[in-house]
């Protein structure tokens, strides 16, 4: 795999932790940092073009106000256009859903005040190894 040089500004304590890990593992700090920034999406991350996922997302958006009134901050499971389960604990809900609907797409989302909250990410820049 080819490497691309980039610049990132990270807090000094984080860099110091990465540096200690690199020394302990006899690796370069950049290897430790790169390994910690895995960008492969987990299974629950939204992906465009999945018709089942698109349909369940639309259902969630249509049901959002009612879900917010009935299950604020709980996690809900939407399958084939219907609410099939809910739980304050997202992990418990996921385990039940995976057992009940193996190999099926079921949308599991936390019901927040906004149907689709806006996430803000800062753009990272790597800085060369400096003491």
What per-residue confidence (pLDDT) applies to 44?
Answer: 46
In this model, does residue 43 exceed pLDDT 80? no
Say how many C-beta atoms besides its own lie within 10 A of residue 108's C-beta: 20
Mean pLDDT confidence for 60-64: 95
Q: Which residue did the predictor score with more confidence, 39 or 78?
A: 78
Mean residue pLDDT of the chain comes to 84
Overall pTM > 0.85: no
- Please report, for residues 8, 9, 73, 105, 117, the alpha-carbon distance to residue 122 in angstroms, rounded to integers and kept in the order given: 11, 10, 26, 31, 16
CA 109 to CA 28: how far, in whole Å?
A: 39
What per-residue confidence (pLDDT) applies to 18?
Answer: 85
Return the structure tokens found at 86: 């809910």
**Percent above pLDDT 90 for the chain:** 42
């Amino acid at each position: 795999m080819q490497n691309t040089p980039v610049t990132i500004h990270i807090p000094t304590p984080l860099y110091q932790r990465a540096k200690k890990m690199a020394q302990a593992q006899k690796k370069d700090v950049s290897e430790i940092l790169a390994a910690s920034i895995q960008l492969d999406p987990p299974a629950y991350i939204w992906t465009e073009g999945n018709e089942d996922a698109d349909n369940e997302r639309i259902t969630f958006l249509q049901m959002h106000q009612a879900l917010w009134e009935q299950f604020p901050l709980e996690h809900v499971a939407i399958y084939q256009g219907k609410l099939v389960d809910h739980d304050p604990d997202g992990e418990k809900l996921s385990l039940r859903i995976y057992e009940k609907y193996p190999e099926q797409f079921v949308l599991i989302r936390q019901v927040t005040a906004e149907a689709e909250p806006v996430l803000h990410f800062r753009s990272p820049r790597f800085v060369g190894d400096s003491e």
